Amino acid sequence: MYQHSTRELANRLDDLATTSISNAAIPIITRSGIAVGHYHIRIEDGKFSVKKRKAVVYTTHTKTAALIIAGILNKQHKPEDIVRVLQADYVIYSTKNDLESFKHHYDLAIKSNDPIKEGIMLSRFEQADDRYQAAKQILKQSYSKLF
């Protein structure tokens, strides 16, 4: 039977846990952000930075896109996948404001009984919503492949 000190066993367990966490693509919330394998996600200036060590690799507008990119980078990644996620992230970020604006103007057109403006705002809202839903679907598909 082997006799080990408690400190030695604790150090071995800590090394095992650290190695397991750093090699896994599972998101782990830490004090300074979210660790995903060898990458770390931090919020800076309202955006999410994906970092490896101290170097910023990518910056996204949403946490979901940052998690997806960090997961892709931990695996055998294709640049096309990362570009696709970054484009979807930008579309979601930019069309979210458009949707709110078009909805507001649509409601104002209904209150003021202006059918022309109502039709225009409804059309713009539907187009922006289609872009938003398509981009959201891309992020959902990419996210489901990672973990």
Packing angle, helices 115-146 and 63-74, rounded to 10: 30
Q: For position 25, what pLDDT does the model report?
A: 64
Is 86 in a helix, a strand, or coil? Answer: helix
Are the C-beta atoms of 134 and 12 separated by less than 8 Å?
no
Q: For position 22, what pLDDT does the model report?
A: 56
Q: Between the CA of residue 82 and those of 58, 66, 91, 104, 136, what are the distances in Å?
A: 10, 10, 14, 34, 15
Q: For position 131, what pLDDT does the model report?
A: 95
Which ranges constitute the DSSP H helices of 24-146? 63-74, 79-111, 115-146
Q: For position 1, what pLDDT does the model report?
A: 44
Give the residue ranges of the chain where pLDDT is below 70: 1-4, 17-25, 145-147
Q: For position 21, what pLDDT does the model report?
A: 58
Residues 6+ positions from 31 with CB-CB distance below 8 Å: none
Extended strands (E) in 13-89: 27-30, 33-36, 39-44, 47-52, 55-60
Tokens in use for 63?
A: 């946490």
